[in-house]
């Protein structure tokens, strides 16, 4: 069992947790992920390692509440325990001195982009960051991102904060104006697809971090497979970072939808249970 030491809400739907897991903290690196399972009934959920402290033996995860598992996780508090916390999985990000780089983050993707931007900056790169979300309420860590970026552009789809744009708009302007040697993009698959299509036009190498459906996360089921130019790869062991220009995005997007009906059932059932709980504890209060 792994104890949650700290919990913070970064906005209405994004939560941060610090978890005691010395075996993962020992080896963790930027770009890697863990598999979290809440209890005996839980599913194995992949979440990026947002930060870690080797000496304290802790790992930080940041997640957006989108369905049953992440909502359930978000309802836990410090002191609660998780049944499984396995990792670090996947390969760490390859940090080098590339020159001028752009880090693009969409929504909860800001969390995994932050340690990468930080490491790139420390390695002597000029870092331009673009962070975007549907609206102001979904943004977080603007200040943190600013400290590791030479330039930061913030945008929202609805214009409620920063520039009213999707991230590809400022990206295109910078790519047209400047000589950029590398781009990182992490966010919803559809965003990574459009970023990759754009950077391909400009011939700028682009790394994306894929969030396919996973089961074991250790390379034994193939559920996470993605089609690249050279054939199928397993995201959990060969990735999660890949060359965005080689990915068959349409296949990736359709595979992410496989379990949509079941996800809705699970989520609906969870909310129902929560509401019952609330009703019961509400009764007690009275």
Partner 1 sequence: MTKQERIKIPRQEMPLQDKLIRRCNFEEVSLGLSEALAIKEAERCLQCKKPKCVEGCPVGVLIPQFIKALRKGDINESIRVMKIKNNLPAVCGRICPQETQCERNCFLGKTGEPVAIGRLERYIGDYELSRRTCPMVKPRDTGKKVAVVGSGPAGIACAVDLGREGHRVTIFESLHLPGGVLIYGIPEFRLPKSVVHSEIDYAVQCLGIEIKTDHIIGRTVTLDELLEEYDAVFIGTGAGLPNFMKIPGINYSGVMSANEFLTRINLMKAYRFPEYDTPVRIGGRVAVIGAGNVAMDSARCAVRLQKSMGMKSGEVHVIYRRSRDEVPARLEEFHHAEEEGIIFDFLTSPVEIIGDINGNVTGIKCIRMKLGDADISGRKKPVPVANSEFTIDVDTVIMALGTSPNPVVFTNNGNLRRTNDGTVVAGNETGRTSRERLWAGGDVVTGSATVISAMGAGKRAAADIHRFLSGEVS
Ligand X SMILES: Cc1cc2nc3c(=O)[nH]c(=O)nc-3n(C[C@H](O)[C@H](O)[C@H](O)COP(=O)(O)OP(=O)(O)OC[C@H]3O[C@@H](n4cnc5c(N)ncnc54)[C@H](O)[C@@H]3O)c2cc1C
Binding residues for ligand FES (CB under 6 A): 214-217, 219-224, 234, 236
Q: What is d(CA 207, CA 184) in angstroms, rounded to the nearest whole number?
A: 5
**Is the CA virtual torsion 54, 39, 33, 170 positive or negative?**
negative
**Contacting positions for partner 1 (CB under 8 A):** 23-24, 26-27, 37, 41-44, 68-69, 83-89, 215-216, 218-223, 225-227, 232, 237, 248, 250-251, 254-255, 257-259, 262-263, 265-266, 269
Give whichever of 180 and 249 is closer to ligand X, judged by the CB atom: 249
* 63 contact, one of ligand X, partner 1, ligand FES, none, CB 5-8 Å limit per kind: ligand X
Residue 140's nearest CA partner among 9, 18, 32, 31 is 9
Q: Which of 6, 11, 37, 64 binds ligand X (CB under 6 A)?
A: 64
Interacting residues of 271 by C-beta distance below 8 A, sequence separation 6+: 71
Sheet architecture: strand order including 84-89? 81-82, 2-9, 14-20, 58-64, 45-53, 33-37, 84-89
Q: What is d(CA 128, CA 227) in angstroms, rounded to the nearest whole number?
A: 30
The pattern of x and - marking residues 225 through 264 that bind ligand X according to CB under 6 A reads: ---------------x---------------x---x--x-
Minimum CB separation from partner 1 for residue 93, in Å? Answer: 15
Minimum CB separation from ligand X for residue 162, in Å? Answer: 21
Which tokens is 181 given? 């040697």
115 belongs to the binding site for ligand X (CB under 6 A)? no
């Amino acid at each position: 069992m792994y104890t949650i030491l700290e919990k913070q809400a970064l906005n209405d739907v994004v939560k941060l947790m610090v978890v005691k897991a010395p075996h993962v903290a020992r080896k963790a690196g930027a770009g890697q992920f863990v598999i979290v399972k809440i209890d005996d009934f839980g599913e194995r959920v992949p979440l990026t390692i947002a930060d870690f402290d080797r000496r304290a033996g802790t790992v930080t995860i940041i997640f957006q509440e989108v369905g049953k598992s992440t909502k359930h996780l978000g309802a836990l508090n410090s002191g609660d325990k998780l049944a499984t916390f396995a990792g670090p999985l996947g390969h760490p990000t390859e940090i080098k001195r590339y020159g001028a780089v752009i880090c693009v983050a969409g929504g909860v993707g800001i969390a995994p982009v932050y340690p990468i931007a930080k490491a790139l900056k420390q390695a002597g790169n000029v870092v331009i960051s673009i962070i975007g979300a549907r609206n102001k309420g979904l943004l977080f860590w603007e200040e943190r991102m600013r400290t590791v970026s030479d330039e930061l552009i913030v945008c929202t789809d609805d214009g409620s904060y920063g520039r009213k744009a999707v991230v590809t708009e400022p990206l295109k302007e910078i790519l047209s104006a400047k000589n950029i040697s590398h781009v990182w993009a992490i966010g919803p698959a559809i965003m990574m697809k459009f970023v990759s299509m754009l950077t391909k036009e400009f011939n700028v190498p682009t790394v994306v971090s894929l969030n396919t459906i996973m089961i074991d996360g250790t390379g034994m089921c193939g559920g996470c497979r993605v089609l690249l130019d050279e054939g199928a790869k397993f995201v959990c062991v060969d990735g999660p970072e890949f060359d965005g220009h080689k990915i068959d995005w349409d296949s990736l997007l359709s595979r992410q939808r496989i379990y949509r009906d079941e996800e809705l059932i699970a989520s609906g059932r969870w909310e129902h249970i929560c509401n019952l709980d609330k009703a019961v504890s509400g009764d007690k209060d009275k």
